[in-house]
């Protein structure tokens, strides 16, 4: 049995979060009535000229800086010619020989915990281009309906080197890229709405062979799960085809989520020859050092740097730091909570954000941005655990009360609902005396050597304090009295 | 370098231009004439000269990212051959 090596490269179309289109002043808002956001430039009326959107270029520069790529001082727009009804000009304005971003890299983590490994995926380039419109193939009396609202929406196409060796690596890369473009605020990352679409170039070769096998390109993967399924299917299909004596023909394929299979869309025979040439309607895009440096100074701290800082400043494990830097929202939330609770409570803050808050959000199907408990409120709650005002158990009650809007802060709820931990020894002793008097049988059992009876007495005592006493303190006092 | 008749037909197909055999022949002659001109230009020594992407040595002007357009769908669709539910209708295309 031959050993096969899988080779994957990924192209991602990232829809940039601009207000207006890349070459016109039409809105890019999603979900509008068909064709109400398509102006003369977008529908390609004769005589119109494209004017480049500075906001789209800003996004490209931010991306270039985030992946440590070269931001090209000069890049050129080219026409990519093909005919399709949702491309009214007959060409797509893209970049070909001189893209705006050259090189760069994205680091991915594979596996979790102690067995986690890191890998660098190198980028070839990233270029600016316009999106096409949408074809609706539902039946309009045997015709196709065209909506050009999306035509001219700015895209950044990000292309990797063929660096990935499994579907797991491909998905890890796609997830890392997805998190990064959202982090630096250039894309909303909404995959259902098509804001982040991946094409995977997949080939196989006998292990040890230098030359790449013939690749097939799986188009338009709009979920991480589909990406995994599509690549896994494609790989086993290619291996089976070759082992059965067949040959792989270069082709574009589509993944059908219903059957879990990929099928060829067009073969090399009728592959497009795009006849690229520099667009005479657009001059070269010049980006000077000043613009790049201004952008650099406005960049947020990037995930990798933030993760290192979380580990150093807050003494968090790599796992915790990774989880808390999985998005800018969660990282900001965490830091805002720690700012209130204090650095000494950084670890409990991490637990509350990753465990309790995450579980509660999950239960209500809410996103962090919609959390009824703010970071400041959660920080205030953790602070009261840290200074022994309340126990962890009571804290869960206070958290629920904050979630339900029963008070503006943990302090207010603790005060209003009388949840303050009883630390006064005298008060606890009085309660314990009552418990001992009411449970003579248990006391006798304990004295007869049954340790279990002691635990039952602790339980009774905690119940008498309505959970407001420190369990350890109750334990000690009880032992003293029985001793 | 000169083109073949087959290449002319392929380019015509890519450009969705229908040409007769006679037109293909005469187009071949025209295009080869252009190639001759290009060959003459290629004889010029351009070593060390950066290719220009545009005839004018200027930089692209940029516009601020702002929505400046109104909805003019009705005016545009008034001259479209066929529309329905706000969509332009075209002969069915399934790839």
Give the residue extent of every domain in chain A: 7-292, 301-416, 425-482
pLDDT of residue A86: 94
- pLDDT per position as a tens digit, A179-188: 999 999 999 9
Q: Is the pLDDT of residue B16 over 70?
A: yes
B94 confidence band (pLDDT: 50, 70, 90) = low
Q: How confident is the model at residue A46 (pLDDT cuts 50, 70, 90)?
A: very high
Give the pLDDT band (50/70/90) at residue A61. Answer: very high
Q: Is the pLDDT of residue A349 over 80?
A: yes
Task: Count contacts between A and B (CB, < 8 Å).
Answer: 129
Determine whether the interchain pair B84/A27 forms a contact, defined as Cβ–Cβ distance below 8 Å: no
Chain-chain contact of A85 with B93 (C-beta, under 8 angstroms) = yes
- Look up residue A258 and give its two tokens: 């219903």
pLDDT of residue B59: 94
Smallest Cβ–Cβ distance between A146 and the set B14, B69, B87 belongs to B87
Least confident of A134-148, A304-318, A463-477: A463-477
A246 touching B, CB under 8 A? Answer: no
Interface mutation vs chain A, best among B57, B69, B76, most A CBs within 10 Å = B69
Q: Most confidently modeled of A63-77, A260-274, A322-336, B11-25?
A: A63-77
Check CB contact of A153 with chain B, cutoff 8 Å: no
Could you report the per-residue pLDDT of A304-328, keeping only the tens digit for each?
999 999 999 999 998 899 999 988 9
Residue A57 near chain B (CB below 8 Å): yes
| Mean pLDDT on A325-332 | 92
Cα–Cα distance for residue pair A255/A198, rounded to 1 Å: 12
**Which pLDDT value is given to residue A459?**
85
User: Chain A partners of B90 at a C-beta cutoff of 8 Å?
Assistant: 85, 143-144, 146
Cβ distance of B53 and A145 shorter than 8 Å: no
Closest CA to A225 of A174, A278, A158: A174
pLDDT bin (cut points 50, 70, 90) of residue A435 is confident
Distance to chain A for B86, nearest Cα, Å: 5
A134: pLDDT strictly greater than 60? yes
pLDDT surpassing 80 at residue A430: yes
> What's the pLDDT tens digit per position in B17-71?
999 999 999 999 999 999 999 999 988 999 999 888 888 889 999 999 999 999 9
Q: Give the DSSP letter string of A250-287.
A: PEEEEEETTTTEEEEEEESTT------EE-TTSPPEE-
Mean pLDDT, to the nearest integer, of A204-228? 95
Q: What is the DSSP string of B29-77?
A: HHHHHHHHHHHHHHTS--TTPPPPSSSS--PPPEE-S---PPP-HHHHH
ipTM, two decimals, is 0.85
A25 in contact with chain B, both atoms CB, cutoff 8 A: yes
Give me the pLDDT at residue A390, please. Answer: 87
Q: CA B80, CA A408: separation in Å to the nearest integer?
A: 59
Tokens at residue A169, please? Answer: 């690596």
Structurally, at CATH architecture level, domain A425-482 sits in: Orthogonal Bundle (1.10)
Would you call A20 helix, strand, or coil by DSSP?
strand
Beta carbons of B73 and A35 less than 8 Å apart: yes
**CA proximity to A262, closest of A308, A228, A213, A301:** A228
Nearest CA of chain A to the CA of B87: how many Å? 5
Measured between alpha carbons, how far is residue A41 from residues A89, A147, A151, A457, B76 in Å?
9, 14, 10, 80, 12
Cβ-Cβ contacts under 8 Å, A135 against chain B: 93
Test A52 with B59 for CB contact under 8 angstroms: no
Nearest to A51 by CA among B57, B66, B54, B61: B61
Residue of B16, B56, B65 to mutate, interface with A, max A Cβ within 10 Å: B65
Residues A442, A464: Cα–Cα separation, whole Å: 16
CA-nearest residue of chain A to B89?
Answer: A145
pLDDT in tens, A359-399: 999 999 999 999 999 999 999 999 999 988 888 888 999 99
Kindly indicate the confidence band of residue A267, based on its pLDDT and cuts at 50, 70 and 90: low
Residue A1 has a pLDDT of 66
Kindly list the residues of chain B whose beta carbon comes within 8 Å of any beta carbon in chain A: 10, 14-16, 53-56, 58-69, 71-73, 76-77, 82, 84-95
B60 to A284: CB separation less than 8 angstroms, yes or no: yes
Percentage of chain A lying above the pLDDT 70 cut = 98
pLDDT of res. A417 = 83
What distance in Å separates the CA atoms of residue A119 and residue A70, rounded to the nearest whole number?
A: 21
The model's confidence at residue A177, banded by pLDDT at 50, 70 and 90, is very high
Hey, which residues does A13 pair with through a beta bridge? A157, A197
Using a CB–CB cutoff of 8 Å, tell me whether A220 touches chain B.
no
Which of A46, A283, A295 has the most B C-beta neighbours within 10 Å, making it the best mutation to test the interface with B? A283
Q: Which distant-in-sequence residues (6+ apart) come within 8 Å of A293 by Cβ?
A: none
């Amino acid at each position: 049995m031959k050993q096969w090596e899988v080779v994957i490269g990924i192209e991602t179309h990232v829809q940039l979060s601009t207000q207006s289109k890349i070459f016109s002043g039409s809105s890019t808002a999603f979900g509008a009535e068909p064709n109400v956001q398509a102006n003369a430039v977008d529908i390609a009326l004769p005589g119109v000229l494209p004017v480049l959107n500075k906001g789209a270029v800003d996004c490209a520069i931010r991306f270039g800086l985030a992946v440590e790529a070269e931001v090209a001082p000069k890049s050129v727009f080219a026409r990519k010619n093909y005919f399709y009804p949702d491309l009214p000009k007959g060409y797509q304005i893209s970049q070909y020989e001189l893209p705006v971003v050259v090189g760069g890299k994205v680091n991915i983590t594979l596996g979790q915990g102690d067995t986690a490994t890191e890998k660098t995926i190198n980028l070839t380039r990233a270029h600016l281009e316009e999106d096409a419109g949408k074809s609706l193939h539902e039946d309009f009396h045997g015709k196709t309906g065209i909506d050009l609202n999306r035509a001219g929406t700015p895209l950044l196409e990000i292309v990797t080197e063929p660096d990935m060796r499994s579907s797991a690596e491909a998905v890890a890369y796609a997830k890392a890229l997805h998190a990064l473009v959202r982090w630096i605020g250039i894309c909303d990352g909404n995959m259902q709405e098509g804001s982040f679409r991946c094409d995977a170039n997949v080939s196989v070769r006998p292990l040890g062979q230098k030359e790449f096998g013939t690749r097939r390109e799986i188009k338009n993967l709009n979920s991480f799960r589909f990406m995994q399924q599509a690549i896994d299917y494609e790989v086993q299909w290619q291996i089976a085809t070759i082992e059965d004596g067949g040959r792989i023909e270069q082709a574009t394929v589509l993944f059908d989520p219903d059957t879990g299979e990929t099928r060829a869309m067009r073969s090399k025979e009728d592959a497009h020859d795009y006849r690229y040439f520099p667009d005479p309607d657009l001059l070269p895009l010049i980006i000077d050092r000043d613009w790049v440096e201004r952008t650099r100074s406005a960049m947020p701290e990037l995930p990798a740097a933030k993760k290192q800082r979380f580990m150093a400043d807050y003494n968090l494990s790599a796992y915790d730091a990774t989880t808390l830097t999985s998005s800018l929202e969660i990282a900001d939330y965490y830091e805002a909570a720690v700012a209130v609770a204090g650095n000494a409570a950084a670890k409990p803050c991490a637990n509350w954000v990753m465990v309790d808050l995450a579980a509660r959000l999950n239960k209500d199907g809410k996103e962090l941005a919609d959390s009824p408990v703010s970071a400041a409120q959660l920080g205030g709650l953790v602070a009261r655990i840290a200074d022994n005002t309340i126990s962890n158990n009571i804290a869960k009650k206070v958290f629920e009360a904050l979630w339900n809007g029963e008070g503006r802060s943990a302090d207010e709820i603790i005060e209003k609902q009388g949840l303050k931990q009883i630390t006064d020894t005298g008060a606890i002793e009085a309660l314990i005396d009552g418990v001992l008097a009411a449970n003579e049988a248990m006391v006798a059992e304990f004295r007869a050597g049954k340790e279990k009876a002691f635990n039952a007495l602790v339980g009774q005592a905690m119940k008498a304090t309505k959970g407001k006493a420190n369990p350890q303190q109750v334990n000690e006092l009880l032992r003293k009295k029985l001793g | 370098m000169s083109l073949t008749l087959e290449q002319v037909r392929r380019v015509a197909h890519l450009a969705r231009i229908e040409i007769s055999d006679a037109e293909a022949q005469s187009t071949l002659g025209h295009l080869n004439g252009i190639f001759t001109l290009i060959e003459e230009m290629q004889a010029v020594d351009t070593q060390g000269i950066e290719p220009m992407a545009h005839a004018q040595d200027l930089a692209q002007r940029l516009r601020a990212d702002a929505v400046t357009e109104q909805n003019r769908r009705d005016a545009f669709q008034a001259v479209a051959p066929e529309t329905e539910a706000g969509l332009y209708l075209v002969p069915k295309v399934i790839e």
